[in-house]
A and B are shown apart, each in its own frame.
Chain A
Amino acid sequence: MAKESNRIELLQGTLDMLILRTLLFGPMHGHGIGKHIQRTSDEALQVEHGSLYPALHRLERHGWIASKWETTDRGREMKFYRLTAAGRKQLTVEESKWNQLARAIARVMRPA
């Protein structure tokens, strides 16, 4: 369990933003998205499949991402998600909300 200790619980709602941000680089399958978030956060953020799948399906229902079965470079057929135009817009909304939140928290934690 020691391995878990330096992991951070994802804040409610931030996973959506991270997925949208990840897909900004291009279409990706669920597994890849999870791995990417994990890698780029230096393993600090572990995305459980139990959160990832519902998030992907929720985003798809909102029309922010779309999915399609495609073959990978290694010849494996996977379900790829890509960002839609609405998704891009949503990403900016979420990002600015996140920035506001981060600044607000920073002000509370380190008062000038």
Chain B
Amino acid sequence: MWGRKKRERDLEREIRTDIELEEEEQRDAGVTPEEAPYAARRAFGNVMFIKEVTREMWGWTSLERLSQDLRYAIRMMKTSPGFTLVAVISLALGIGGNTAIFSLMNAVMLRSLPVQEPDRLVLFGNGKWAGIIDDLPNRSWQLFSYPFYRQVQRENQVFSGVTAMMSLGNDVRAAVEGAKAPEPVRARLVAGTYFSVLGVNAIAGRAFTDAEDQTPGGHPVAVISYSWWQRRFGRDLSVVGKTLAIGSTVYKIIGVAPPEFFGTSVGESPDLWIPLAMNERLPPGWGGADARKDPSFQSLYILARLRPGASIAQANAQVNLIFKQSLHERVGSNPSAKDLSDVQRALIELTPGGRGVSRVRNRFSMSLQLLMAAVGLVLLIACANIANLLLARAANRQKEIAVRLSIGASRLRLIRQMLTESILLSLLGGLAGVVFAGWASGFLVWMVSTGAERLPLQVAPDARVLTFTTLLSVATGILFGLAPALRATRVELSWSLKEGRGSISTRSRNVLAKALIVSQVALSSVLLIGAGLFVRSLANLRNIDTGFNKESVLVMGLDTSLLSYQVSDSRMVNLYRQVEERVGQVPGVRSAAFAMLTFQPGSWTDYAYPQGRTPLPEDQRGVHGDVVGPGFFAAMGLPITLGRGFSVSDTSVSPKVAVINETMARRFFPGESPIGLRFGLSPDKSGEFEVIGVVKDAKYESLRERPTPMAFYPYALQRASHLGQFAVRYTGDVRGIVPEIRRAFAEVNSNLPITEVRTLAEQVDDTLVGDKLLARLSSFFGLLALLLASIGIYGVLSYAVARRSNEVGLRMALGARRSNVLWLVMRDVLNLVTLGLVIGVPAALALERMASGMFFGLSDVDPLSTVAGVGILTMVAGIAAYLPARRASLVDPSTALRYE
């Protein structure tokens, strides 16, 4: 700044001395001494302008000009604190909303795993499946067998490392050395190569290696997560070497993972990792001993690291070659035509693996993208608002601008200076927005979390989020600042200097202001109609007939695998019976039953073959299955429409029976009563189960599913299984009943912990979390848009009314009535609103058709949400317009005419 001041003085002096010299020369040339100074100045030219253009040559300008502009901008903000406040708040909401949604998108969809060179990791398939599948692959495949994992590891030449993870989690109870009772922990089975391929090192102790993933059941070691270490052990370093017992196996803790590492699944945070070789020993022991040998036991995700120089295309080719080979080996030397065509169609698509596997991602990415678009629209509306305010303010500054232009400021300089003001505003808004987003993104995570636990998503802003917000703020500032700045600096000097409030540019200013109002209305209508659609869709889902009665039912989660009974153990069945009986005696309990599945994502599918009929085509043979206790249908409120349900007399020695739902009855036994007919789960055992009853169709996994064939089997050894669900229908107060049920459980067997208690209604509601998120947030954004747009209408109209008071006064003096004036002002706005709707409504409808998959039970054009959206918008716009219009109609003609 020193150099600049000195130079400024220097220039000042240089010009002054030059003018003095000129004056002297003018006098020498015979001009009178009085005239000489003026003549000299005339000859010299516009001093301010000369200074300005000379300064441009100094080269220092950009930084110092910026600081000048900033100081000026801060001064301008101080002079109109009201405007600044409104602008910053609406920007904070707009930018903050965008930041919050983006943080969530970043956490769920964009952020890389905290591992070495995540961009060189590839995932086999897209990770959208989880579970165990034994079909022969016949399309793009996502889950793989252990033998295939080892085969890829051995035979490939494109990866520097290959690893695998079990797609299912093992939520178990672990007794830590020295602790009295076992506690719930989330364990994940991963291959021995897991940590080395990811490049994740233990921060204490060490990670396990492939050498500890060889002998089935032979490597009882565990790496624990940082967060569990912190939570459970208070970051005690002596944890390494401690043991913990899970089931009948004692594991040794050998290391602690780094704090940022949460595994390879976004939205999960395991407490410990255990080598895949321990699969059989770790409850529930997925697949038993087969899991390591059977190529049809496919339950693993495979993640691999590309060798330097290897391309994804090469990897793709080689992986698929190995895959086809393994499948040919699997079908044997004498494959059926169907097997061959399946293998033909089987394929692995490699996807970037650096972001891990995420079911949360699959579940929410569409919703998040839609919300991002919605919140982007809100920001646009906020921009339009501020642009309008700036435009109005620029009109009031016209004289100042004219003065500055006439004394030599360049237009570019003025535009730059006004843009500095608007960008400063938007950066302030962005700063406030980051604070708002910090709160809002936590709220969003809470909204998408189901159950008692918050989804472990890291939404704290990182560099990517902050960059996003900064760029967004600057872009916003330019977006709302540029048009007003261009408009304001296009001034007819002579006119503006003469006119007090300058009216020359009102016409084009009005055109711009009107265009902004129209676009606000159009955008708001899109948002409001969209919100209406999501709300209606959610309502449809909530009102859908689930088939069961979800009121007054408790669903409890259990870990029966802890009992260490084999599934075929008759003690297990006895235990189920005793618990059901004992709980049934609790006052207020009407019926209670164990079940494999109640209502939750996840299913178990078989092919079914009706006895004495030709098998159905393959794509229709699939039947879901559930294993339940006698009281299940009563507990769930599933009405039996034909025959009977299960009873205690259906035992392991009585004939095998099944209850099927209406869809299965219609599909497998068309045209006759299925009672007494038989079906089986393989072609050669089609007489295995006798149908004893038909139960009403219901939803089993999701409210959006179509009617699915379903068969229920009694647990009494006919289809034995570990049953993890317990359903109770009750009357009266639920709070009194839960402890009673717990006591009943403990009386029968103290080793059977209830892990979770929820109502069936809650369980149903949990499957709607994405729909609820969309309905709530889109409503919020819709209302925010409405608020902003009405502020915009109110502001522009108030301003217009103030400027037109003269005209209004004249009209009233000539006999116009108040109602005429009111209408005169309102008509303008209603025209704009109509125009906005003419643009917005078709746009909303077009979007509705494009996203029709997101909406449930709505026709392509949903009349109700459209009419509601248009109605609300028109009404609110009307109110926003009425207030200033009324003010105009109350103008006193004599005052108005005297003014100006």
A binds B: yes
Residues of A in contact with B (beta carbons under 8 Å apart): 29-31, 48-50, 53-55, 57-58, 61, 76-79
Which residues does chain A contribute within 8 Å of B333, judged by CB atoms? none
Nearest B residue to A53 via CB reads B54
Report yes or no: B44 in contact with A57, Cβ–Cβ below 8 A: no
CA distance A47 to B53 in the complex (A): 15
Nearest A residue to B47 via CB reads A49
Number of A-B contacts (CB under 8 A): 49
Nearest A residue to B22 via CB reads A31
Q: Nearest Cβ in chain B — how far from A52, in angstroms?
A: 9
Report yes or no: A79 in contact with B17, Cβ–Cβ below 8 A: yes
Report yes or no: B57 in contact with A54, Cβ–Cβ below 8 A: yes
Report yes or no: B45 in contact with A50, Cβ–Cβ below 8 A: yes
Asked if B74 is at the interface of the complex by the 8 Å CB criterion, the answer is no
Report yes or no: A57 in contact with B10, Cβ–Cβ below 8 A: no
Nearest B residue to A79 via CB reads B14
Which residues does chain B contribute within 8 Å of A49, judged by CB atoms? 18, 44-45, 50
Report yes or no: B10 in contact with A76, Cβ–Cβ below 8 A: no
Asked if B21 is at the interface of the complex by the 8 Å CB criterion, the answer is yes
Asked if B342 is at the interface of the complex by the 8 Å CB criterion, the answer is no
Q: Nearest Cβ in chain A — how far from B146, in angstroms?
A: 74
CA distance A61 to B56 in the complex (A): 12
Report yes or no: B50 in contact with A57, Cβ–Cβ below 8 A: no
Nearest B residue to A35 via CB reads B25
CA distance A29 to B14 in the complex (A): 9
Instruction: Mark interface residues in B1-35 (1 if CB within 8 Å of A CB, else 0).
Output: 00000000011011101101110000000000000
Q: With contacts A53-B50, A53-B53 known, what are 7 further pairs, Cβ within 8 A?
A: A30-B18, A53-B11, A53-B54, A53-B57, A54-B54, A78-B17, A79-B10
Q: Nearest Cβ in chain B — how far from A95, in angstroms?
A: 23
Q: Nearest Cβ in chain A — how far from B16, in angstroms?
A: 10
Report yes or no: B14 in contact with A50, Cβ–Cβ below 8 A: no
Report yes or no: A48 in contact with B45, Cβ–Cβ below 8 A: yes
Pick from B18, B22, B56: contact of A54, CB under 8 Å: B56
Report yes or no: A61 in contact with B59, Cβ–Cβ below 8 A: yes
Chain B, interface residues (CB within 8 Å), range: 20 to 34
Report yes or no: B17 in contact with A76, Cβ–Cβ below 8 A: yes
Which residues does chain A contribute within 8 Å of B50, judged by CB atoms? 49-50, 53
Contact of A31 with B57 at beta-carbon distance under 8 Å, contacts A50-B46, A50-B50, A79-B13 already known = no
Contact of A76 with B13 at beta-carbon distance under 8 Å, contacts A48-B45, A57-B57 already known = no
Which residues does chain B contribute within 8 Å of A76, judged by CB atoms? 17, 20-21
25 contacts between A and B (CB under 8 A): A29-B17, A29-B21, A30-B14, A31-B18, A48-B45, A49-B44, A50-B45, A50-B46, A53-B11, A53-B15, A53-B54, A54-B53, A54-B54, A54-B57, A58-B57, A61-B57, A61-B59, A76-B17, A76-B20, A76-B21, A77-B17, A78-B18, A78-B21, A79-B13, A79-B14
Which residues does chain A contribute within 8 Å of B56, judged by CB atoms? 54
CA distance A68 to B50 in the complex (A): 20
Which residues does chain A contribute within 8 Å of B436, judged by CB atoms? none
Asked if B856 is at the interface of the complex by the 8 Å CB criterion, the answer is no
Which residues does chain B contribute within 8 Å of A30, judged by CB atoms? 14, 18
CA distance A106 to B468 in the complex (A): 58
Contact of A50 with B53 at beta-carbon distance under 8 Å, contacts A31-B22, A61-B58, A79-B10 already known = yes
Which residues does chain B contribute within 8 Å of A61, judged by CB atoms? 57-59
Nearest B residue to A51 via CB reads B53
Q: Nearest Cβ in chain A — how far from B27, in angstroms?
A: 13
Which residues from 26 to 72 on chain B have a C-beta closer than 8 Å to any C-beta of chain A? Answer: 44-46, 49-50, 53-54, 56-59
Which residues does chain B contribute within 8 Å of A57, judged by CB atoms? 54, 57-58
CA distance A77 to B57 in the complex (A): 24
CA distance A53 to B58 in the complex (A): 11
Which residues does chain A contribute within 8 Å of B13, judged by CB atoms? 79
Question: Counting chain A CB atoms within 10 Å of each CB, which of B13, B17, B22 scores highest?
Answer: B17
Which residues from 800 to 851 on chain B have a C-beta closer than 8 Å to any C-beta of chain A? Answer: none
Which residues does chain A contribute within 8 Å of B53, judged by CB atoms? 50, 53-54
Which residues does chain A contribute within 8 Å of B18, judged by CB atoms? 29-31, 49, 78
Q: Nearest Cβ in chain A — how far from B491, in angstroms?
A: 21
Q: Nearest Cβ in chain A — how far from B538, in angstroms?
A: 67
Which residues does chain A contribute within 8 Å of B17, judged by CB atoms? 29, 31, 76-79
Q: Nearest Cβ in chain A — how far from B14, in angstroms?
A: 5
Q: Nearest Cβ in chain B — how far from A1, in angstroms?
A: 15
Question: Counting chain B CB atoms within 10 Å of each CB, which of A29, A48, A54, A61 scores highest?
Answer: A54
Q: Nearest Cβ in chain B — how far from A23, in angstroms?
A: 16
Report yes or no: B49 in contact with A50, Cβ–Cβ below 8 A: yes
Nearest A residue to B44 via CB reads A49
CA distance A65 to B835 in the complex (A): 63
CA distance A50 to B15 in the complex (A): 11
CA distance A48 to B54 in the complex (A): 12
Nearest B residue to A60 via CB reads B57
Which residues does chain B contribute within 8 Å of A31, judged by CB atoms? 17-18, 21-22
CA distance A55 to B54 in the complex (A): 8
Nearest B residue to A57 via CB reads B57
CA distance A31 to B26 in the complex (A): 13
Q: Nearest Cβ in chain A — how far from B58, in angstroms?
A: 6
CA distance A55 to B53 in the complex (A): 10
CA distance A54 to B410 in the complex (A): 15
Which residues does chain B contribute within 8 Å of A58, judged by CB atoms? 57
Nearest A residue to B14 via CB reads A79
Which residues does chain A contribute within 8 Å of B15, judged by CB atoms? 53
CA distance A103 to B11 in the complex (A): 38
For the complex of A and B, 8 pairs with smallest distance between CB atoms: A57-B57, A53-B54, A31-B18, A58-B57, A79-B14, A54-B57, A49-B45, A54-B53
Q: Nearest Cβ in chain A — how far from B345, in angstroms?
A: 71
